[in-house]
Amino acid sequence: MAPHDGGGSTNSTSEIDELLPEEQMHRRYTQSTKRGPTRQRKNSYSALGRQRFGRKYHSLIAFSTIIYWTSVSLIPVYNKHFFQKSLYPYPVATAGIQLGVVSILLAVLNIVQHIVSSNRNTYNSSGSLVIASRERSWIFGPHFLWKIKWCFPIGCLFGLKYGITNLGLDLVPAPTHLLLQSTDLVWTVLGAYIINAEVVSTIELICLAGCVAGSVVLGWSIKDDSSLAAPLFAILVNLTSPIFLGLCLATLRLACIELMRPDNRVGGTVSSVELTSIKLIVSSFVALILACILEKGDETKDSWWIAFIELEQLTRLGVIVGAFLIAVFQVNCTFLTFLSSTVTVGLVGQVKIIPQWILATITVSRTSDFKVKELNMIGAFLIMMSAAAFAIYNYIESSSSPSDVTCRDEENGDDDCSISSEGKPLLLLRDADDWGAAFMRKSYDSIQEEKIEEITGYANPVVEHNVPFLNATGINIKNTSHN
Give per-residue pLDDT as tens, 259-279: 888 888 888 888 899 999 999
* Judgement on whether residues 198 and 308 belong to the same structural domain of the protein: yes
Per-residue pLDDT, averaged over 458-481, amounts to 39
* Same structural domain, 204 and 317: yes
Residues 424 and 287 in one domain: no
Assign 357 a pLDDT band (cuts: 50, 70, 90). Answer: low
3-state secondary structure of 143: coil
Residue 409's CB is within 10 A of a number of other CB atoms, namely: 13
Mean of the per-residue pLDDT values of the chain: 70
Number of compact structural domains in the chain: 2
User: Would the pLDDT of 297 be above 70?
Assistant: yes
For residue 175, give the nearest of 367, 441, 13, 316 by alpha carbon.
367
One domain, residues 348 and 461 = no
Assess whether 299 and 414 both reside in one domain. no
Please check whether residue 473 lies inside any domain of the structure.
yes
Q: How confident is the model at residue 84 (pLDDT cuts 50, 70, 90)?
A: confident
Does 3 fall in a domain? no
Query: What is residue 288's predicted lDDT score, i.e. its pLDDT?
Result: 93
| 336 and 454 co-located in one domain | no
- Residues 131-147 have a mean pLDDT of 78
Q: What is the pLDDT of residue 475?
A: 37
Cβ neighbors of 396 (< 8 A, separation 6 or more) are none
Residue 104 pLDDT greater than 90, yes or no: yes
Among the residue ranges 73-77, 109-113, 326-330, the one predicted with the least confidence is: 73-77
287, 96 contact by CB (below 8 A): yes
- What's the pLDDT tens digit per position in 371-399? 556 776 787 788 778 877 887 887 777 66
200 lies in a domain? yes
Q: Which of 400, 420, 451 is the last residue of a domain?
A: 400
Per DSSP, the residues of 153-185 read HHHHHHHHHHHHHHHHHHHS-HHHHHHHGGGHH
Cα pseudo-dihedral 351, 353, 356, 359, rounded to 10: -110
Give me the amino acid identity at 470: L
- The string of DSSP letters for 293-355 reads HHS---SSS--HHHHHHTS-HHHHHHHHHHHHHHHHHHHHHHHHHHHS-HHHHHHHHHHTHHH
- DSSP, collapsed to helix, strand or coil, labels residue 50 as helix
Inside any domain, residue 4: no
Indicate the residue among 400, 435, 450 that finishes a domain: 400
The pLDDT of 227-246, averaged and rounded, is 77
Among the candidates 400, 431, 452, a domain finishes at 400
Q: Are residues 353 and 466 in the same domain?
A: no
On whether the pTM is more than 0.85, the answer is no
Residue 411 pLDDT > 50 = no
* Residue 410 and residue 268 share a domain: no
Q: What is the mean pLDDT of residues 39-52?
A: 59
Question: What is the model's pLDDT at position 198?
Answer: 84
Which residue range forms the structural domain that includes residue 216?
A: 48-122+134-400
pLDDT at 121: 56
d(CA 424, CA 254): 10
- Closest to 259 in 3D by CA, of 425, 114, 11, 140: 425
Residue 113 and residue 83 share a domain: yes
Structural domain includes residue 5: no
Q: Are residues 294 and 389 in the same domain?
A: yes
